[in-house]
Amino acid sequence: MASHVVAHKPAEHEPVNTTLRHHFASDEQQKDAATIGMWVFLVTEIMFFGGLFLAYFAYRQAYPAAFASASGKTNLWLGAANTTVLICSSLTMALAVHAASLGKKTLLVIFLVLTLMLGGAFLGVKAYEYHDKWVHHEVPGAHFECEGCDDAGHAPLFFSLYFGMTGLHATHMLIGFVILVILIVKAQKGEFTTKWYTPVEMFGLYWHFVDIVWIFLFPLLYLIDRSHTGLK
Amino acid sequence: MTLEPKSFQLFPEQASNFAPTVDALYTYMVVVSAFFSLLVAFLIVYFAVKYRKRPGQGIPAPVNDHSIGSMILEITWSVIPLGLSLVMFAWGASIMFHESRPPKDALSIYVTGKRWMWKIQHLEGAREINELHVPVDRDVKLTMTSEDVIHDFFVPAFRTKADVLPGRYTTEWFRPTKVGAYHIFCAEYCGTKHSGMIGTVYVLSAADYDAWLAHGSGEGSLAEQGESLFNQLGCANCHVKDGHGRAPNLYGAFGTKVDLSDGTSVRIDESYIRESVLYPQAKIVAGYDRIMPTFKGLISDEGMLKLIEYIKSLGNENGANAPARNLSMESPDLQKTGTMAVPMSEMKAPAAAKTTSTEKKQ
Amino acid sequence: MITASPPVKETKNYLNNEKGIKSWLLTGDHKRIAILYLISVTAFFALGGVFASLIRLELATPAGDLLESNQYNKVFTMHGILMVFFFLIPSIPATLGNFLIPMMIGAKDLAFPKINLLSWYIYIVGGIFTLYVLLTGGVDTGWTFYTPFSTSYSNGYVIAAGLGIFINGFSSILTGLNFIVTIHRMRAPGLTWFRLPLFVWAHYATSAIMILGTPVVAVTLFLVVLERGFHIGFFDPAYGGDPVLFQHLFWFYSHPAVYIMILPSMGVISEVISTFSSKKPFGYTFIAFSSVAIAVFGFLVWGHHLFVAGQSIYAGLVFSVLSYIVAIPSAIKVFNWAATMYKGQVRLETPMLYALGFIGLFTVGGLTGIFLSSLGMDVHLTDTYFVVAHFHYVMVGGALLGYLAGIHFWWPKIFGRMYSSVWSKVSAALVFVGFNLTFFPQFLLGYMGMPRRYHVYPPEFQVFNVLSSAGASVLALGLILPAIYLTWSLKHGEIASANPWGATGLEWQTASPPITENFEVTPVVTTEAYDYSTQQEVVHVG
């Protein structure tokens, strides 16, 4: 393949670009690469959760009675509260990204901290729910009991999926938690400017994704057949 | 009779109704594959020789002609292989359709796989371990389950196999066409002695088969043993004969479709009976309360087969009793031999068909 | 015509510009990371090969006289796990792909160099788990981990093995992610999609499969670990679960995975055939699109592993017809490669010998695959040695030969040295002959009914088993020789010029070995791909 070459030498009086990695030709290319990379990663996450959703749909279709009555054991109000909390945390995250784009450091830190607190609230409620299930022997295993459940022989499947799916989701939230702390520290140090706030934006994408996964989990795990079994 | 394998053979014996057509399809595939393999091999060797770089040959001239692309060629060598392949598809599909529809009057035998042996149960009560005696020229249907992991019942001479699953029944059928002894292999890896989980099919003449059956187990037929289990476990208390009990009437029920409490319907077959005994709340017949207790842990897989055969013997959808014995000398036409079943007053009319039970997962 | 390469003092290049173990273990240079991978995948391949030798030694006799049954079962399991997950899947992408993709597109590195290094470390951690399993007693489930055997019955280290593969999966995902972003966004000016080398197209399609399929097997193995560890029932009927669901989830990845293994090899073959015919690949666009078609259709055929597993026959029909459709793009490639040689200037250097061997063996492997795509035929052949022969023809005769072709083709570029032409051709011949002798008899064994994963077998199967084991010794020799002469060449081989084969492609327009930044100045592309007319008239003749 023939080519002629073009020299790319920076002019001596240009300021050194500290945020541009050496293998990229321009800031724009670097930002594009990060964005495409994050979206590709989110696609892999969809496939990751997808396997569990497939198992859920397969078993729910096979054992509807067990799923409907076992789902009644989840606490609707706690689930709804968590949903609200997580949606609000997506809002604060979006506002954080916006603040970063405007170079407003204080606002950025405030919104990141709010996101962290809301995320922490979600995890706290989840911990309470797990504990509650443990106490009521609703964790699959040797001591499993599903009181008053239809088709109790197949009820463990629902709970396996409940713990598997919300557990995987909670793990993703924990990872997000850790990254948020790092971002807060970096933001406080003033590392993000209007010219470069890519990590904040990319993390925003990740956080919104984790939120959307919950939006799917909530109805599938908490809302099946509530009209039939009644609000509890 | 013993297994008499030749030391050099390319094909197993053709011992079932499926073997000739499977071998014919194989021959077609071998011929097509050999043709294309040899063609490709020839082309690359021929081109490597004919177009080898010769000393002094200069830089290749720029090309933009048919030697770097040709739509006609691309279409040709896509369409022709596709056409030849679709023949393989259609032929193979038709073989498998045939293999997946056991004839209604097939001789029924139960197979239970367990690490690492095959337990065979004939309806008349005869039991075998790692051996399967069947009559020649009669359709045979195996209903199989596993007590532990996935196995597979493979008879190369018949060209059939099917996975044997825990918690579920799978079927495999064939018509043996040649008297002799043939290998049974387990063909799904199942642990330590997977390669030891082998046996022999003995295909006998009709007379020899009846003679062999007559030596069967003294415990009575499967259905008879099932009847005593039915009473022992207390099923008879609710599933009463006259149909006024707390539970659906089972007389004449096998093979019919019933409506369930959630609006769907199901065909009463081996899998539904098994599911109802182990997970009674999963599918409740419309109009009945959810009061049936589970018998999980109280009945073995073998016991389950006996119960199923008993329920079958109470009459099927044709209004006739299922035969308690597979009588090889009699006509396979059951309508003439059975008596009429009790009218199905307790069963609702079948609703629109849903998935058949062979696709239901346990 | 031979060019006399003047003796060159060792120039500054990516191999010598930084010294010390830290400069290797903390590198961001894609070329060094490729070498790290080269060493590790070779090590895992050798280990997998040792297990293969044990299998063939045992199977030379019908009785179980070398190993006990449990040991044999662990040996074939470890052979499968090591070869599939730790050799075949990373092999070409992580070594040749890592090294060449930035160079082929005129870039300085991949988009995410640190993630590239992380990929290698994750691979090593996954490998350590697997070695731990090996040293503490092994796992005996087969590389396919079917339930409920793996979750409830196996006495092996299933959890550790599952975790090792789970972790390794992330290495694959990150590599695929890196390649996709790089190919999309970092091509040199003028390098449009249809000027890309076919090697790049092949890796783009492979990366799509990596990122979409691997997460599914990851979550599936995760569920197996949960079920085995906590008796949380997903797949065990004792808890109401369905063992066939495991098979669906497992094969949803593992079938596309085989296209991860073969597509990069096909990319190599396109480059090698073209170079050693001095001709643009015939039907360039068709070859490029066929890679994409294989990736897409490859996701739609997994059910052909479940024809006798209890799957509905209607699903079987759909999967069967799709399995025929997915074979067509591969057929298109084979014919296009052959046509590339038509009116070319063919040179039979070692890479070309491997490439021609690939074409022959992959054709047989692919054709025997369509035996298995036919429902009625598969009923007889599945889980027999026919399947074993089929996948070894495509994985060894195909993927491995493509890997060897690529290593021999780009070795001068990577290390700046030529290797012995005589020894490499002898090895290639041994590999080809040994391979056929090992695996062709297995087709016959399979039709006769010998099941796979059998430790002992009826005596009538012995003749072909002995042939197979004899062939394996020839194959082993053919595979050991490259380790020797290639290593020898690092110190004693003739110094290579920038373009000893007369190939096209940006990677050949820079030094051998390249400088760390790959190019002194970023290339600008102005012509179509594979333009041999502008080649200098210098070509290495061996």
Chain C: list its partners (3+ Cβ pairs within 8 Å).
A, B
Nearest CB neighbour to B279, from listed A58, A64, A154? A154
The pTM assigned to this predicted structure is 0.89
Per-residue model confidence (pLDDT) at position B249 = 85
The verdict on a CB contact (< 8 Å) between C523 and A8 is no
Secondary structure tally for chain B: helices H, strands E: 7, 12
Per-residue model confidence (pLDDT) at position A143 = 80
Per-residue model confidence (pLDDT) at position B342 = 27
Among chain A residues, CA nearest to C532: A1
Structural domains in chain B (count): 2
Using a CB-CB distance cutoff of 8 angstroms, which residues of chain A are in contact with residue C527?
1-3
* B193 and B95 part of one domain: yes
Nearest to B212 by CA among B127, B145, B277, B337: B127
pLDDT in tens, B279-307: 888 888 888 888 888 888 888 888 999 99
| ipTM exceeding 0.90, yes/no | yes
Per-residue model confidence (pLDDT) at position A137 = 87
The verdict on a CB contact (< 8 Å) between B279 and A151 is yes
Least confident of B65-74, B271-280, C46-55, C295-304: B65-74
* B109 and B140 part of one domain: yes
The helix (H) or strand (E) run that includes residue C523 is: strand C523-525
Per-residue model confidence (pLDDT) at position A180 = 97
Per-residue model confidence (pLDDT) at position B217 = 64
The verdict on a CB contact (< 8 Å) between C448 and B9 is yes
* B237 and B207 part of one domain: no
- Domains of chain A, each with CATH number or no CATH: 33-222 (1.20.120.80)
Nearest CB neighbour to C245, from listed A23, A58, A140? A58
Point out the domain boundary residue: B195, B218, B241: B218
Direct distance between the N- and C-terminal alpha carbons of chain C, in angstroms, rounded to an integer: 11
The verdict on a CB contact (< 8 Å) between B262 and A65 is yes
The verdict on a CB contact (< 8 Å) between B361 and A66 is no
Count of CB atoms within 10 A of residue B172's CB? 25
Higher pLDDT, B234 or C537: B234
Higher pLDDT, B162 or A62: B162
Residues of A near B (CB-CB distance < 8 A)? Answer: 58, 62-66, 150-154
pLDDT in tens, C330-359: 999 999 999 999 989 999 999 999 999 999
Given a cut of 70, whether residue C511 has pLDDT beyond it is yes
> What percentage of chain C exceeds 90 in pLDDT?
89
Using a CB-CB distance cutoff of 8 angstroms, which residues of chain C are in contact with residue B189?
73, 142, 146, 149, 452-453
Per-residue model confidence (pLDDT) at position C182 = 97
> Best mutation site among C103, C219, C227, C247 for testing chain A: the one with the most A CBs within 10 Å?
C219
Higher pLDDT, B244 or B321: B244
Domain that holds residue B354: 222-361
Given a cut of 60, whether residue B359 has pLDDT beyond it is no
Per-residue model confidence (pLDDT) at position B290 = 82
Higher pLDDT, A227 or C373: C373
Put simply, the chain A residues between 57 and 96 with a CB less than 8 A from any chain C CB are 58-59, 62-63, 66
Higher pLDDT, B4 or A71: A71
pLDDT band for C535, please (50, 70, 90 cuts): low
pLDDT in tens, B30-48: 999 999 999 999 999 999 9
Per-residue model confidence (pLDDT) at position A224 = 83
In a domain, B37, yes or no: yes
What is the rounded average pLDDT of the residues C167-184? 97
Put simply, the chain A residues between 27 and 46 with a CB less than 8 A from any chain C CB are 29, 32-33, 36-37, 40-41, 43-45
Q: In what order do the strands lie in the sheet with B127-129?
A: B127-129, B117-122, B107-114, B140-146, B170-174
* B18 and B158 part of one domain: yes
Among chain B residues, CA nearest to C316: B93
- HSE on the CB side for A173, CA within 13 Å? 28
> What percentage of chain B exceeds 90 in pLDDT?
52
CATH number of the domain at B159, please. 2.60.40.420
Cβ atoms of residues C146 and C117 within 8 Å: no
What is the rounded average pLDDT of the residues A204-227? 92
Nearest to C46 by CA among C150, C141, C127: C127
In a domain, B29, yes or no: yes
* B151 and B25 part of one domain: yes
- What is the spatial distance between Cα B220 and Cα B325, in angstroms, rounded to a whole number? 10
Put simply, the chain B residues between 208 and 267 with a CB less than 8 A from any chain A CB are 262
- Domains of chain C, each with CATH number or no CATH: 42-534 (1.20.210.10)
> Best mutation site among B116, B161, B183 for testing chain C: the one with the most C CBs within 10 Å?
B161
Per-residue model confidence (pLDDT) at position A153 = 80
CA distance to partner chain B, nearest, from residue A124 (Å): 35
The verdict on a CB contact (< 8 Å) between C146 and B11 is no
Query: What length does chain B have?
Result: 362
Per-residue model confidence (pLDDT) at position B344 = 29
In a domain, B83, yes or no: yes
- HSE on the CB side for B13, CA within 13 Å? 17
The verdict on a CB contact (< 8 Å) between B96 and C278 is no
> Looking at the complex, does the CB of residue C530 fall below 8 Å from at least one CB of chain A?
yes
**What are the Cα distances from residue A185, in Å, to A182, A188, A189, B110, C170?**
5, 5, 6, 69, 28
* B228 and B213 part of one domain: no
Put simply, the chain A residues between 176 and 205 with a CB less than 8 A from any chain C CB are none
Among chain B residues, CA nearest to C67: B192
Using a CB-CB distance cutoff of 8 angstroms, which residues of chain B are in contact with residue A66?
281-282
* B111 and B137 part of one domain: yes
* B105 and B154 part of one domain: yes
Chain A: list its partners (3+ Cβ pairs within 8 Å).
B, C
In a domain, B234, yes or no: yes
Nearest CB neighbour to A40, from listed C109, C181, C231? C181
CA distance to partner chain B, nearest, from residue A194 (Å): 51
pLDDT band for C89, please (50, 70, 90 cuts): very high
In a domain, B15, yes or no: yes
Nearest CB neighbour to C233, from listed A7, A50, A140? A140
What is the rounded average pLDDT of the residues B106-117? 94
The verdict on a CB contact (< 8 Å) between C448 and B12 is yes
Per-residue model confidence (pLDDT) at position B352 = 33
**What interhelical angle do C198-230 and A155-188 show, nearest 10?**
120
In a domain, B249, yes or no: yes
Question: Residue A230 — left, alpha, or beta (φ > 0 → left; ψ -120 to 50 → alpha)?
Answer: left
pLDDT in tens, C40-75: 999 999 999 999 999 999 999 999 899 999 999 999
pLDDT band for B345, please (50, 70, 90 cuts): very low
pLDDT in tens, C197-217: 999 999 999 999 999 999 999
**What are the Cα distances from residue C406, in Å, to A120, B53, C3, C477, C508?**
51, 21, 23, 20, 14
* B154 and B230 part of one domain: no
Put simply, the chain B residues between 288 and 307 with a CB less than 8 A from any chain A CB are 290, 294, 296
> Looking at the complex, does the CB of residue C186 fall below 8 Å from at least one CB of chain A?
yes
Rounded to the nearest integer, the mean pLDDT of chain C is: 94
The verdict on a CB contact (< 8 Å) between B360 and A63 is no
The verdict on a CB contact (< 8 Å) between B33 and C364 is yes
The verdict on a CB contact (< 8 Å) between A153 and B282 is yes
CA distance to partner chain A, nearest, from residue B281 (Å): 4
The verdict on a CB contact (< 8 Å) between A8 and C522 is yes
In a domain, B351, yes or no: yes
pLDDT in tens, A137-179: 888 877 888 887 888 788 888 999 999 999 999 999 999 999 9
The verdict on a CB contact (< 8 Å) between C324 and B52 is no
Cβ atoms of residues B60 and C278 within 8 Å: yes
The helix (H) or strand (E) run that includes residue C242 is: none
> Looking at the complex, does the CB of residue A175 fall below 8 Å from at least one CB of chain C?
no
* B24 and B141 part of one domain: yes
Nearest CB neighbour to A23, from listed C108, C239, C240? C108
- What is the spatial distance between Cα B204 and Cα B212, in angstroms, rounded to a whole number? 9
The verdict on a CB contact (< 8 Å) between A51 and C211 is no
Rounded to the nearest integer, the mean pLDDT of chain A is: 88
Q: Which two tokens stand for residue B172?
A: 């495999």
* B111 and B32 part of one domain: yes
Given a cut of 60, whether residue C7 has pLDDT beyond it is no
pLDDT in tens, B168-198: 999 999 999 999 999 999 999 999 999 999 9
Given a cut of 80, whether residue A4 has pLDDT beyond it is no
> What percentage of chain C exceeds 70 in pLDDT?
97
* B226 and B192 part of one domain: no
Point out the domain boundary residue: B218, B252, B274: B218
Per-residue model confidence (pLDDT) at position C294 = 97
In a domain, B108, yes or no: yes
CA distance to partner chain A, nearest, from residue C142 (Å): 22
Put simply, the chain C residues between 143 and 162 with a CB less than 8 A from any chain B CB are 146, 148-149, 152-154
The verdict on a CB contact (< 8 Å) between A154 and B282 is yes
Handedness of CA B353, B354, B356, B357 (dihedral sign): negative
Point out the domain boundary residue: B191, B218, B245: B218
The verdict on a CB contact (< 8 Å) between C249 and A40 is no
CATH number of the domain at B251, please. 1.10.760.10
Given a cut of 70, whether residue C234 has pLDDT beyond it is yes
Per-residue model confidence (pLDDT) at position B243 = 64
pLDDT in tens, A103-145: 999 999 999 999 999 999 999 999 999 999 999 888 887 788 8
Enter the DSSP assignment of B254.
B
- Exposure string of B197-221, with b = 16+ CB inside 10 Å and e = fewer, is bbbbbbbbeeebbeebbeebeeebb
Per-residue model confidence (pLDDT) at position C179 = 98
